[in-house]
Amino acid sequence: MLSRSLKAIPRHRYQKSLIFINKRYSSTFATAIETAEKLVQPKTSASSPLDPFAMVSAEMATLGKHISQLIGSGHPVLNRVASYYFEAEGKNVRPLIVLLLSKALSKIPINERNRIIIDQYDVNTQKEFKGTPKAFSFAGADPLKSISPLNILHGINPNIILNPLSRPMIDQDEKSIQLDIKNGILPKQRRLAEITEMIHTASLLHDDVIDFSDSRRGRESGNIAFSNKMAILAGDFLLGRASVSLGRLRNSEVVELMSTAIANLVEGEFMQLKNTVINPDLTTINNDGQLKKIPLPTGKVPVKVHEYSINGTSNIISHNDNVEAAFQYYLHKTYLKTASLMSKSSRSTAILAGCNEELIENCYQFGRNLGLCFQIVDDMLDYTTTAELLGKPAGADLKLGLATAPVLFAWKDKPELAPLIARKFSQNGDVEIAKIAVDETNGVQKTLELAIKYRDDALNNLRVLPESSARSALELLTNSIITRNK
């Protein structure tokens, strides 16, 4: 079933899946669509030739192992908390996108990938390729090796019996290196996939504390299993170790992109906490259901008013303008919280491959559109599926006071929902009224149509890539986002 194709393949099936790696399959848009339709049928095997996970099953199999080596804490409890979410079976969509995109980009001839210097270490060849200055990419630089001496990085001799808390990162095994060469995935791209998942997982640890979540990936969330403090600290530690690995890619453009993605996650969370379109009051915040006055600025540091803030009263702004502003705010927040990491890691993948500007831009737009589609579907599932399927609480958005696409569509047809949205559905009966309004206005169906629009845009972005089984797998993955139920 399609829902199974969005989970990592069980360990006992990895070897079986590898038989597809060296085969070539014709790749057309029609083939990908046909395969996607077949995959939603109950009798379909998860190891379809175009199944995204089957195509890079070996790389996905070692993802958790390599990340555990990157975490490298010498403190057993910190190690335990930081690796907690990697133990459970997650979607792993973000590293999957990077790996499949890397494989698809490898079909572009090397002489057409000359935007940066692609060094001998990257492509395992003696040829030298000219590109932009070496400041962007250090030729011959191993992404596993430190730039500064280890005794400087760790503040202690790493060879003495007292191990530093942040241990040196362990080299990839020879089998993984040879597999990368065979599949056309550059070592730096594989590392980028691991970094992307580390950043995402750190955000989950933080989000579950903020949202008071009690489950994640089918079991207790990190904040419940350990504590709020440990979950926050483990998330911070993951971001720190991801930043170290990011620096070792030795590509300043990629470092800038991925560092911005980390900042975007925080910006998006703030936009969600304080919706300045629905409630333009910038002097108070909602603190666990109670309004709290925030300190006024002293003037020593300029504080810019958010561009989405609406000055004035509701009687001089039309209802349609209010709804449109709320949708723009929602989509911007969705980009920052979800699509930014997908889009910037996709762009970084193309940069590391040395692709031209057109390909880099389309890879970025692909990640952006796919990310928006993914989150919009996630918001829709909050209204349509169960906690057992989601692996996290269902129906949580309204309870958290979040006005996502389904209720925004309902608001467009029912202006009377404005006070409920403004007070974040905090009064008794608000959540139930909002759910009924969503049903009466077909808010879920309209949300699905919005997700399909971004799905179609993402598929169009993929058309610039050369035809390959990897591109077909990306097309299939893109289609599967719409039909997933978890």
Percent of the chain with pLDDT over 70: 73
368's tokens: 């952006």
pLDDT value of residue 32: 38
Higher pLDDT, 392 or 343: 343
Beta bridge partners of 216: 219
Strands (E), 10-144: none
User: Highest mean pLDDT range out of 44-53, 63-72, 331-340?
Assistant: 331-340
**Core vs surface per residue 26-39: b (16+ CB within 10 A) or e:** ebeeebbeebbeeb
pLDDT value of residue 18: 30
pLDDT value of residue 144: 63
Assess contact for 32 and 479: CB atoms under 8 A. yes
Amino acid making up residue 190 = R
pLDDT value of residue 63: 85
> Tens of pLDDT along 393-417?
667 889 888 999 999 999 999 999 9
Q: What is the average pLDDT across 449-459?
A: 98
166 DSSP assignment:
B
CB atoms within 10 A of CB 316: 9
Assess contact for 379 and 398: CB atoms under 8 A. no
d(CA 152, CA 400): 45
pLDDT value of residue 300: 85
End-to-end CA distance of the chain: 12
> Tens of pLDDT along 230-268?
999 999 999 999 999 999 888 999 999 999 999 999 999
Q: What values do phi and psi take at 285, rounded to 5?
A: -135, 155
**Averaged pLDDT of the chain:** 79
Evaluated on CA atoms 162, 166, 171, 175, the torsion sign reads positive
Higher pLDDT, 217 or 361: 361
d(CA 296, CA 103): 52
Higher pLDDT, 6 or 177: 177
10 Å CB burial of residue 263 (0-12, 13-18, 19+) is exposed
Number of residues written out for the chain: 486
Q: Is the pLDDT of residue 199 over 90?
A: yes
Nearest to 223 by CA among 392, 48, 49: 392
- Is 293 strand, coil or helix? strand
pLDDT value of residue 98: 97
CB atoms within 10 A of CB 114: 15
Does the reported pTM lie above 0.75? yes
Q: Is the pLDDT of residue 44 over 90?
A: no
Lowest-pLDDT range of 258-262, 297-301, 389-393: 389-393
What the chain holds in terms of domains, given with CATH numbers, is 2-483 (1.10.600.10)
C-alpha of 253 from chain center: 19
pLDDT value of residue 482: 94
**What's the pLDDT band for 277 if we cut at 50, 70, 90?**
confident
Phi-psi region of 138 (alpha: psi -120 to 50; beta: other; left: phi over 0): beta
Higher pLDDT, 130 or 142: 142
Q: Is the pLDDT of residue 324 over 70?
A: yes
Q: Is the pLDDT of residue 293 over 90?
A: no
Residues 6+ apart with CB under 8 A from 480: 2, 5, 6, 36, 39, 52
Amino acid making up residue 452 = I
